[in-house]
A and B are shown apart, each in its own frame.
Chain A
Amino acid sequence: MNPVLKLLMETGGQLGIPEMARVLGLTEDQVKAEIEELKRQGILLGWRPVFNFSRGEDGMVRAVIEVRITPERGGGFDRLAERIAKFDEVESCYLMSGGYDLLVFVSGESLHKVAAFVSEKLATIEGVLSTSTHFLLRTYKEQGFLVSPQGEAKTRLDVSP
């Protein structure tokens, strides 16, 4: 596997390009070129900070929606899934095995706005058979980060044999 990709997977993109270059013994331009190549291949989509919204002033409401849709001859689920994925409210959208077809993560500023999105936009799309919406109540882990990490106090000795 490409060393830049391995380091990104290990550090979650927390090292900047200069630091990555130093760790890997490459020039910054080489690291940038590798990153561009990963983007071009569609392996690296991008990166963004991970927030714990329950700690912010304005709470963010998030919901996960199970959606059943009608597959289409030729395209299967793709056309409808891609159409749903394009809404700004949709954070993630996956085709699933099991009792429903799409699992859609949505977020909005209020319960009302999320509910309105589901009932007015999502459920009304031709081909959507049913939706089942579950609101997220509390976050314990987000994208690999523990929301209330324990043991933050330093426990390793400074020098040991």
Chain B
Amino acid sequence: MDWSKYIARHVINLPRSGIRDFFELVARMDGVISLGIGEPDFDTPWHICEAAIYGLEKGRTHYTSNLGMIELRRAISRYVERQFGISYNPDNEILVTVGVSEALDLAFRALVNPGDKVMYHQPCYVSYHPSILLTHGVPVPVPTYASDNFALTVRGLEEAWEPGAKILVLNMPCNPTGGTCTREQLEQIARFCIEKDLIVISDEIYAELTYEGTHVSIASLPGMRDRTIFLHGLSKAFAMTGWRIGYACAPAPLIEAMMKVHQYAMMCAPVLSQEAALEALTNGQDSVLRMREQYMRRRDFIVRRFKEIGLQCHLPRGTFYTFPNVSVTGLTERDFAVRLLQEERVAVVPGTAFGSGGAGFVRACFATGYEQLIEACDRIERFVQKLSSSKNSVRSE
């Protein structure tokens, strides 16, 4: 049967995720230390799980408002005001979603007409490019560079800008690079967005995991609140990936448009996850700070080790990822990742899984235990030494 006849053309044309390819390779092997994971190694703090259990005991098993439980939206409003200095009305400016992934999809579906141009910095999270394609938008990537610590610069924006560009997607701190923008850089970006009349979709899922300086949301800058859809969630900071809770904050007409899509596609986010999120935002701040401090110590260790090994690695200012440059080994990022996996049983993700700008880089996540981190770095060191000694012996022949 010719299935392709039935599947929508734009879905057939959607590229396969590079992460999924690599996952299938890793899944067939034993004894692998994985630095390829995109989530915290901590379990969700127990007081948060316990709140969900209590929710069940209370009989919280029904639909909630399409926007999400009002108590949760109030908690989100307080949290966003306290953490980011932006004020949103819980009645009509906040939408609770199934993870930031859904919020991002809703934002695209609510804003993008076929052919609209959507700018995003790259390397970036795997879903931006395909999500834009799924809404028949035109992706306009803006490269970021290791020499800028992978911050998005206004220079890069100006170079990539095309007439008719409508949206800019921001993800700072950035998966996979760990890049962040300083306040000055964001102010320049904000001026650019106002000048070019761009709406910003700002995915700030790693905001709490900022190690250098304090996180600034672009929505908090003058003139930006009205043209920003602020996206956040609980997956990373509160170690709640499997609960799938995110939220969008924006001016009421934008939230109303997103809610239209959400009510037909999703109805509402799972009620128990909303109960857990309420507890997390109300009482979870200590756990976040504790985990952040531990991530930071791991980051400092792994970056130092990469330097000792001879891999160039900028200091990630946020997230739990490092993005070392492996081109010194003479291998492409994909060959490096595949051979490291086969020869030393360490999984890292080839940088090109996050766009062509990731060529020469791999993503290594440090959200894992010290013993595994120490051992993984030793294995990478052995692998790189083996490569360089074989390269030298080829040269001397």
Binding site for B on A (CB under 8 A): 3, 6-7, 10-11, 15, 19, 22-25, 151, 156-161
Contacts and interface: CB of A to CB of B under 8 A. Distances in A.
A94 to B, nearest CB: 24
Contacts of B43: 151
Interface string B17-53: 1010011001100001010111101010000000000
Contacts of A161: 17, 19, 38, 125-127, 175
Given A15-B370, A23-B374, A25-B304, A159 B294 contact: no
Contact of B32 (A25, A151, A158, A160): A158
Given A10-B294, A25-B304, A159 B37 contact: yes
Given A19-B370, A23-B374, A25-B304, A159 B349 contact: yes
6 contacts: A11-B370, A19-B370, A22-B374, A23-B301, A158-B27, A160-B37
Nearest to A20: B370
Nearest to A160: B38
A159 B374 contact: no
Given A10-B294, A158-B37, A159-B37, A22 B301 contact: yes
Interface string B356-374: 0000000000000011001
A3 B19 CA distance: 36
Contacts of B231: none
Interface string B339-358: 00000000101000000000
Given A159-B37, A159-B347, A25 B371 contact: no
A72 to B, nearest CB: 40
Contacts of B158: none
Contact of A23 (B175, B293, B297): B297
Contacts of A11: 370
Contacts of A160: 19, 23, 36-39
Contacts of A19: 370-371, 374
A157 B37 contact: yes
Contacts of B304: 25
Nearest to A11: B370
Contact of B23 (A6, A10, A159): A159
B71 interface: no
Contacts of A10: 294, 297
> Which 10 residue pairs spanning A and B have beta carbons closest together?
A159-B36, A159-B23, A160-B38, A158-B26, A158-B34, A161-B126, A161-B19, A23-B301, A161-B38, A159-B26
A157 B23 contact: yes
Nearest to A7: B297
Nearest to B24: A159
A59 B205 CA distance: 50
A19 B374 CA distance: 8
A6 B127 CA distance: 37
B148 interface: no
A25 B34 contact: no
Contacts of B32: 158
Contacts of B126: 161
B91 interface: no
B18 to A, nearest CB: 10
B197 interface: no
B300 interface: yes
Given A15-B370, A161-B127, A156 B26 contact: no
Contacts of A7: 297
Contacts of B349: 159
Contacts of A24: 297, 301
A25 B304 CA distance: 8
Contacts of A6: 293, 297
Contacts of A3: 297
Q: Which of A11, A19, A160 has the most CB of B within 10 A?
A: A160
